[in-house]
Chains A and B, each alone.
Chain A
Amino acid sequence: MKVLDLSRGIAGAYASQLLALAGCEVTRLELDGRDEQVDAVAWECANRGKSARVVADAASVLDLIADAAALVEDRGPGGIEALGLTEEALRARNPGLVLTRLSEFGQSGPRAAWAGSELVNLAAGGLLFLTGNWDRPPVQLAPYQAQMTAGLLAAIATAAALYGGEGMTIDASKQESVLALVSPAPTEYVYSGTIPARDGMVSAMPRIEHSADGWVYAGPGAAVTADYDLFSRFLEIPELAEERFATAEGRMAHWEEHQRLVLPKLKERTTEAWLERAEEWRLTFGPVQTATDLLASDVLIERGFFADATLPQCTVTVPLAPYIVDGTRPQGLRTGMRDGPADRRPQQ
């Protein structure tokens, strides 16, 4: 199945890349470069596994649309229309087309014309409010998480529409994609009236703290059910078993003392030693890995997770596919833009 991509951002480029991973033949139509918010390496990574084709104008897109199964774009309301393409014209050439339209807030509605960004997507979708520590302002996630999530959900809708076999327009919103990550928070509000706070689900407990040799995720459990009796014995800090630390409210009231007891103790062992001990005690500790730790992860390497990908101007190590099929990691995204010579790259 052939898929055309007119995207300018990571969300659209990632949606069509996932379709390539699923076996579609994806062609990126080069018309006007990438969005200014996207850096070159991220953009090239999101375009691996596709071919590229320079198109001059709307007429050349219409010429290609007849034998395409899907067209993906992320230009927002009126975006493809500004190029001289309309849904009507596309459907006149190809009634069965699946047209995937990604935007910041949706194709219509009171905020459809609002501008967006990764930070603004996270804010509008409800994830920014929840992220960060209670004593600092809300803070964003790792780069491109709203874009990647919107691309992933748009790819799911597009692949499903291709399976269903009926021409259809998908109206995918980044705001709503972020909302799909936070559904427990609105549900808690509608039934209990409680509006979850930043870090509210885990506050009043250790989070990620220094160990002897790095960081360790040191969570005794969920905030309401955390067993501080057990945690006190596990950490060998008798004071933690006292009544004032038994509830989240009590720990917040005595937070400074709590941290004075816990933080030095966590620095007494290495992360690995804490993880081993936590496993014996069935506590939910975890390693805190960096990007370079992940690139060196023996578990990932052994499972064939990474490959070197040749991009137009550099070679990078990237994950090949998020899953293994019939014992083999799909290899379709090993290449860069196959027909995209360096001089066609959007300029920095």
Chain B
Amino acid sequence: MQTTTTTITTATEPHLPLRGVTVLAWEQAVSLPMGTRLLADLGARVIRLEAPARGRARPRHLGNDLGRNKQSLSLNLRDPRAGEIFKRIVTHVDVVCENFTPRVKRQYGLTYDDLTRVKPDLIMLSLCGYGQTGRMSERPTFGPGIEAASGHAQLTGYPDQPPTRPGTIVFADNVSGFYAAFALIGALLRRRLTGKGSAIDLAMYEACTYHLTASLAQASLTGADPPRRGNGDPAALVQDVYAADGSERWLAVTVSAAQAGALGEMLGCAVDPDTLSRTLARWSTERSAEEGARALQAIGVAAAPVQDARDLLLDPQLRHRESFTLVPHEQPVNGYGAHPHAASAFLFAGRPRPPLHESPAGGQDSRALLRELGGMNDAEIDALVADGVIGVAGPSAGPAMQHADPESARRRLDWRLIAAHDSDPGRTLDLPRSTPAHSAVTEVRA
């Protein structure tokens, strides 16, 4: 994992195709921040707009999955002077995006119509739960509710059990954020051809429903709802998740009809699906998930350990791809100078992953941005800071996410609230004790 920092200093630069694009991200929660994070991963300059924080700011590293590589501008939009600053900045950006209920931008006079008056070729994306129009447009929402509303829960789980949520708490948020990123790049391509901006209306409800196109098409053909499939798949001869040796260790296996003979030979059993599955269930408990997967892959059968969070960080394939990037901290967190975060989701062959910079403190870049894009001088900025219109970074709180105490971890483990506990993940992952050379990382940032 530490090779990540060394690749940054090599002659080859990361491929950052959106370099030169500026995005003003008036964002909250997870969905849109994930979308603009992808744009930042691809080289766009993303200015995250947030309200001035009250009290101590939350620790910067907690924002790294969503806020890394962004700049932070803090404005109190309740004050009309902040709205004027917003519009001045809009004249310098390519994209404005926001994820509030539709009334919020109307309330502040910051609709697409308002903003195209100052920036005629603006691209603006509005993301909310149920879209900019319709009877549900003002309904505040959250990811898990969307997962249920958009059909995912109903299609996940066992036929004899209730519908089940996708296990990642950010499923609907991330899927919606990915569609937001795609829609915005599509709009940039269109603007290059036509010279015109556009307004994009993206609903989480629709993005997540769109992700189920095949199931909807199937239901429209038969008029019936497809049943929950458990772990089965009609295209496979045998497919399931089998318990492997150890607590909470599992092996996922997909066997095609053509592989039945080879698998039967390896397991020493008959090749009908029931016998193969029963024998696999017994065979898998006698070895680690890793060994089981290797043995099955050796005869061409698709199989993998069902990886937990620690497995992902230790996975040799993800390490080979540098799928996690070390984010250096200003001050060590839990005694380590950097922690790994999921890298840019894009690997351009022959180029290193882009370096990741810790999520900014709220308002950290306000002064620099207002001088550069707001046409303001220090005296003007100071006056508006004093009036609470502009926020600048205040003192940060200490680390909020610390190693769990062993006693409470044991209790949570006993009650299956967590799968496992590692008292020192930094040692497991061989993380650096001190902050890696910051300058080498920042040099590449253009």
Contact = CB atoms under 8 A, between A and B. Distances in A.
B263 interface: no
A316 B217 CA distance: 5
Interface in B338-362: 339-342, 345-350
Interface in B297-331: 297, 300-313, 315-318, 320-321, 323-324
Given A176-B323, A198-B419, A286-B145, A141 B166 contact: yes
B333 interface: yes
Given A186-B342, A248-B415, A249-B412, A36 B235 contact: yes
Interface stretch (A59-67, A118-126, A235-243): A118-126
B32 to A, nearest CB: 13
Nearest to A87: B349
Contacts of A155: 182
B404 to A, nearest CB: 5
Interface string B416-431: 1111111111100101
A117 B233 contact: yes
A128 to B, nearest CB: 5
A115 B169 CA distance: 28
A275 to B, nearest CB: 10
A168 B306 contact: no
Contacts of A184: 65, 168-170
Given A184-B168, A319-B210, A170 B347 contact: yes
Contacts of A56: none
Interface in A1-59: 1, 10, 18, 21-23, 36-39, 41-42, 45-46
Given A186-B312, A203-B416, A153 B346 contact: yes
B419 A195 contact: yes
B10 interface: no
B183 A323 contact: yes
Given A129-B419, A319-B209, A179 B323 contact: yes
A294 interface: yes
A176 B318 contact: yes
Interface in A173-218: 173, 175-177, 179-204, 207-210, 215, 217
A252 B412 CA distance: 9
Given A136-B158, A152-B178, A115 B420 contact: no
Interface residues of B, number: 159
B317 A139 contact: no
Interface string A146-160: 001100110111011
Nearest to A101: B349
Contacts of A148: 211, 213
B19 interface: yes
Contacts of B318: 175-176, 179
A3 B345 CA distance: 22
Interface stretch (A226-234, A324-332, A338-346): A324-332
A134 interface: yes
A335 interface: no
A286 B308 CA distance: 28
B417 A133 contact: no
Interface centre among A104, A180, A191, A202 (most CB of B within 10 A): A191
Nearest to B324: A186
Given A21-B186, A207-B165, A149 B175 contact: yes
Interface stretch (B85-93, B132-140, B265-273): B132-140
Interface stretch (B50-58, B76-84, B199-207, B366-374): B199-207
A131 interface: yes
B14 to A, nearest CB: 11
Interface string B134-176: 1110000010111011111111111001111111111100110
Contacts of A156: 38, 42, 178, 181-182, 185, 345-346
B344 to A, nearest CB: 10
B171 A208 contact: no
B305 A289 contact: no
Contacts of B307: 123-126, 129
Given A126-B311, A190-B339, A137 B250 contact: yes
A187 B63 CA distance: 10
B167 A192 contact: no
12 contacts: A22-B182, A111-B316, A112-B317, A119-B241, A130-B167, A144-B214, A182-B309, A190-B313, A190-B339, A192-B402, A192-B425, A203-B416
The 4 closest A-B pairs by CB, nearest first: A164-B17, A130-B167, A131-B167, A286-B145
Given A139-B230, A208-B164, A215-B154, 5 more contacts: A120-B303, A123-B241, A186-B340, A190-B313, A192-B403
